[in-house]
Homo-oligomer: A and B are copies of this chain.
């Protein structure tokens, strides 16, 4: 058991969740490594929501509220870490939730679907078709979900996937702790924050933005600003660490 007063309690709990989920076959072995990379960046960012990340989260809420057909794409790591947070976000936005895996097996799709449903998520189902401009099973998605959405949240996503969605003309929101990743650079809007801090902030903002604020936030999206702010945050923390 991790003591609750441990200074890195949350981070250690998340690490444990990923390891447990990997043993249960919800998270792929590759996902355990990805989580480790995320942890390193979160450590550098200070394991907190920065001011610019909070603005990105509000902006994500604006994009959701303005969307005609929003979708939340959920993979193994996202489900393991934030199933409950996804349920709340779905309630606040009315978005469809589609399970979409990089290391896809039918067994993992089913396990993740069950986990999400247990936490109150309504999971979109149907016949997966090869509709994304990607090779092999990475092209699979639902016609009524990812394929036809206008706004999509893809947390903890692969760079090729993110890029394919942007090429399809979608507004792509990602959550990625590495501000230098291909995903972070390719998305329409990148939230550089830890997923269980980020999603509740989006949900909360959905409940209080008015239509003027929504328009203003969407008009002023500057993803480069969000990425540079995160890099500056890391540089500041590194400078402090050297003292």
A239 within 8 A of B: yes
- Taking the closest CB of chain B, its distance from the CB of A165, in whole angstroms, is 23
A34 within 8 A of B: yes
- Taking the closest CB of chain B, its distance from the CB of A162, in whole angstroms, is 18
- Stretch of A25-33, A89-97, A117-125, A199-207 lying at the B interface: A25-33
A168 within 8 A of B: no
Q: Among B23, B39, B227, B234, which residue has its beta carbon within 8 angstroms of that of A36?
A: B39
- Stretch of A14-22, A65-73, A105-113, A132-140 lying at the B interface: A14-22
Residues of B within 8 A of A238 (CB): 180, 231, 234-235
Q: Report the interface size class on chain A.
A: 20 to 34
Residues of B within 8 A of A19 (CB): 29-30, 33
Chain B residue with the shortest CB-CB distance to A181 = B43
| Given A180-B241, A239-B235: A36 touches B32 (CB 8 Å cut-off) | yes
- Taking the closest CB of chain B, its distance from the CB of A7, in whole angstroms, is 12
**Chain A binding surface SS class:** helix
Residues of B within 8 A of A43 (CB): 37, 180
A180 to B43 CA separation, bound complex (whole angstroms)? 10
- Taking the closest CB of chain B, its distance from the CB of A14, in whole angstroms, is 10
Residues of A within 8 A of B (CB): 15, 18-19, 22-23, 29-30, 32-41, 43, 178, 180, 227-228, 231, 234-235, 238-239, 241-242
Going nearest first, the 6 A-B pairs with the smallest beta carbon separation are: A36-B36, A40-B40, A33-B36, A37-B40, A32-B32, A36-B37
Additional 10 contacts, C-beta under 8 A, given A18-B33, A231-B242:
A22-B29, A23-B29, A29-B32, A32-B33, A32-B36, A36-B37, A36-B40, A43-B180, A235-B235, A235-B239
